Amino acid sequence: MEKTKVAFFDFASCEGCQLQVINLEEDLLQVVGAVDVVSFREAMKGHANDYHVAFVEGSITRRSDEARLKDIRTHAKVLVALGSCATLGGINCLKNFQEQDYVRKFVYGNKASQYETYPARPLRAVVPVDLQIPGCPINRKEFAMVVKALLMGKRPEIPNYPVCVECKMAENICVFDKDMTCMGPVTRAGCGACCITEGSFCWGCRGFVDDPNVDSQREILAKHQLGVQDILRQFRLYTGFSEVAK
Ligand code: SF4
Ligand code: SF4
Ligand code: SF4
């Protein structure tokens, strides 16, 4: 039986999500055994335009990116957005709140005029996206689960409840009781609340759950002495493209 052909592509990103795929170790062997990888710049030479599934990392930050993404879309029967940059716009959207000329000069100095840029956006703002794997970076196990589900013709289940649920299951002390703040109440679970377990707080990298209680989250943050700008900063770190961060 012919294996499913898959390809990996990247736009503006740190390539950390693709590295997670390469670091799959024993699961990678299973995944690679089940699919035919025809393009993966991070891991192999060669490229073919004949693929069924496209995994796309990174956000769209230039008008010229759009044509390339649309071309990928025409070849792929299934397009999967990989990580926060691709699913949300992610941290690249921080520049959307600055003057674009200022950002360009800041990064490229006196060569700024040679570089094109526009406000960053997620893939779904340009083409239809079939599946989204959240996280910065993606969770390796979740990626393997999505690939296995796709191969079985099933829709993978990405959690649609807040990080707080996993945080309680991990028996963490809530960071709000330790004079810290946290985006866990409005952020999609699936990471096992790892940042809180490791002594930090949730930065919101997996994006909002569907219908997040944003007003309540703002109230909680305000109650913990965060001013409007601080609250906006928390909402904009990963989800600056969404309406609630405007
Ligand atoms: S989501 Fe995070 S880890 Fe993945 S490419 Fe973007 S910045 Fe890198
Ligand atoms: S630490 Fe964050 S994720 Fe955990 S329960 Fe508190 S608010 Fe929720
Ligand atoms: S705890 Fe929050 S910031 Fe950390 S991985 Fe999970 S969703 Fe991302």
**Contacts of 146-149 spanning 24+ positions with Cβ under 8 A:** 146/80, 147/6, 147/31, 147/34, 147/35, 148/31, 148/34
Does residue 57's CB lie within 6 angstroms of at least one atom of ligand 1? yes
Does residue 207's CB lie within 6 angstroms of at least one atom of ligand 1? no
Contact 237, 220 (CB under 8 A): no
| pLDDT the model gives residue 30 | 67
For residue 183, report the distance from its CA to the centre of ligand 3, in Å: 9
| pLDDT the model gives residue 27 | 66
Pairing of strands 35-40, 4-10: parallel
Mutate to test the pocket of ligand 3, among 194, 200, 239 (most ligand atoms within 8 A of CB): 194
CA torsion sign for 239, 206, 19, 50 is negative
For residue 37, report the distance from its CA to the centre of ligand 1, in Å: 21
Does residue 20's CB lie within 6 angstroms of at least one atom of ligand 1? no
Ligand positioned closest to the Cα atom of 86: 1
For residue 117, report the distance from its CA to the centre of ligand 1, in Å: 19
Residue 165 corresponds to which tokens in the numbers above?
């649920």
Does residue 17's CB lie within 6 angstroms of at least one atom of ligand 1? yes
| pLDDT the model gives residue 29 | 59
Domain extent listing, the chain: 4-151, 163-245
Q: State the architecture of 4-151 in CATH terms.
A: 3-Layer(aba) Sandwich (3.40)
Q: What is the mean pLDDT of each run of 10 residues along the chain (246 residues)?
A: 89 95 72 81 80 96 96 96 97 93 92 92 98 95 90 92 97 92 94 96 95 90 86 89 80
Does residue 206's CB lie within 6 angstroms of at least one atom of ligand 3? yes
DSSP secondary structure, the chain, as one string = -PPEEEEEEESBS-SHHHHHHHTTTHHHHHHHHHEEEEEETTT-S---S--SEEEEESBB-SHHHHHHHHHHHHH-SEEEEESHHHHH-GGGGGGGGS-HHHHHHHHHGGGGGG------B-GGGTS--SEEE-BTTB-HHHHHHHHHHHHTT-------SBHHHHHHHTTPPPGGGGT---SGGGBB--STTHHHHTTS----TT-BPSS--HHHHHHHHHHTT--HHHHHHHHHHHHTTSGGG-
| pLDDT the model gives residue 32 | 65
For residue 218, report the distance from its CA to the centre of ligand 2, in Å: 14
Q: What is the pTM for the complete model shown?
A: 0.92
**Which residues are 7's β-sheet partners?**
39, 54
Contact 85, 240 (CB under 8 A): no
119, amino acid identity: P
Residue 159 corresponds to which tokens in the numbers above?
């959690």
User: What residue's CA is closest to ligand 2, atom 8?
Assistant: 164
